[in-house]
Chain A
Amino acid sequence: MPSCKDITNHTSEYLDRHMPWHKRIGYWLHLLMCVHCKRYVDQLKLTISTIGRTQDATPPDVSDEQIKDISKCLQEQMAKTDRE
């Protein structure tokens, strides 16, 4: 059975389901019995979804105009490469 410290060291693996099943069972049993770790894991889960909701989380908007500019500039650059 993992200790509370072990629980905090492997929370992402548990939440992202990257944990082998035998470790997962021990982890899950610990969470059934330990309210503190249950809270810790819930808070990491909440942290992750909150990160996804902050301003930094959204890729910048690219306008149609920018897309055309970049695309045109790249086409010109590649045409130049083709000639070389």
Chain B
Amino acid sequence: MATPSLPSDEILIPKLLARDELAYNQIVSAYHGLMVHLARAIVGSAIADEVAQESWVAVLRALPKFERRSSLKTWILRIVSNTAKSRLRHESRTVNLGDALEDSPIVDPSRFKANAHWATPPMNWHADTPDALLSRTELSECISSTLSLLPPVQRAAITLRDMQGLSMEDICKVLEVSESNGRVLLHRARSRIQQAIEEHLKR
């Protein structure tokens, strides 16, 4: 949308509180796509739009009480994350952080010798750019399906970091996890995909 660039939070917030129409358009234009993207990562695409809508209402209702301890964007994404998580709970699907942090090894322990050095080292992928890698048959489908199998919070972490480019600090605020747990979530998610790529290339 040809909206002028988004004004700073300081300018935008009072306008939103005054129910300024242009401000509403600007903020929806700037964040709706990101909100649906994050909601999809947590609840799946079928109800992501609904979660985003519900989050908007929550955002605007809570806005007078927004304390600006983070940027407006981070705060909005946190509301999306919480709305999505409570939606999962409603459908009695778990958002168990414990599962997502599960203590399973990053790399299959049988690939290491007793001294923790490689016994079965990583194979050569014969690709050093994303394009080269994605040109392999069905690799992109393999990544998609691996993403879909991750615990929702891990998928949210990878969406915010490696797709939307948020800082780790903001991601932890959005997902309401400690910095060290946030890093674990992200590393587990990435490693699962790395492993899936390796298995796919072996075929």
Q: Residues on A close to B: CB < 8 A?
A: 3-6, 8-13, 16, 18, 34, 36-37, 39-40, 42-44, 46-64, 66-68, 70-71, 73-75, 77-79, 81-82
Are B144 and A59 within 8 A (Cβ)? no
Can you give 11 contacting A-B residue pairs, CB < 8 Å? A5-B116, A18-B168, A43-B198, A46-B125, A48-B162, A54-B143, A56-B163, A59-B164, A64-B1, A67-B28, A70-B53
Main secondary structure of the interface of B (DSSP, over half): helix
User: Which residues on B sit within 8 Å (CB–CB) of A71?
Assistant: 21, 24-25, 28
User: Which residues on B sit within 8 Å (CB–CB) of A18?
Assistant: 168, 183
User: Which residues on A sit within 8 Å (CB–CB) of B116?
Assistant: 3-6
Are A67 and B29 within 8 A (Cβ)? yes
Chain B interface residue count, Cβ-Cβ cutoff 8 angstroms = 56
Most B Cβ at <10 Å: residue of A16, A60, A68: A60
User: Which residues on B sit within 8 Å (CB–CB) of A3?
Assistant: 115-117
Say whether, besides A3-B115, A43-B122, A81 and B25 are in contact (CB < 8 Å).
no
Are B28 and A60 within 8 A (Cβ)? no
Most B Cβ at <10 Å: residue of A44, A48, A51, A52: A51
User: Which residues on A sit within 8 Å (CB–CB) of B162?
Assistant: 48, 51-52, 57
Are A67 and B32 within 8 A (Cβ)? yes
Are A75 and B19 within 8 A (Cβ)? yes
* Contact partner, A62, options B29, B60, B61, B186, Cβ 8 Å: B29
User: Which residues on B sit within 8 Å (CB–CB) of A8?
Assistant: 106-107, 191
Are B127 and A46 within 8 A (Cβ)? yes
Are A9 and B106 within 8 A (Cβ)? yes
Number of A-B contacts (CB under 8 A): 148
Are B24 and A44 within 8 A (Cβ)? no
Are B143 and A40 within 8 A (Cβ)? no
Instruction: Report the minimal beta-carbon distance from A64 to chain B, rounded to whole angstroms.
Output: 5
- What is the 8 Å Cβ interface bit string for chain B, positions 177-203, against chain A (1 contact, 0 not)? 000000100110011011001100000
Cα distance A44–B21 when bound, in Å? 45
- What is the 8 Å Cβ interface bit string for chain B, positions 6-46, against chain A (1 contact, 0 not)? 00000000000001010011001100111011001000000
- What is the 8 Å Cβ interface bit string for chain B, positions 66-92, against chain A (1 contact, 0 not)? 000000000000000000000000000
Say whether, besides A13-B187, A54-B143, A46 and B133 are in contact (CB < 8 Å).
yes
Are B28 and A74 within 8 A (Cβ)? yes
Are A46 and B130 within 8 A (Cβ)? yes
Answer yes or no: B94 CB below 8 A from chain A CBs. Answer: no
User: Which residues on A sit within 8 Å (CB–CB) of B147?
Assistant: 51, 56
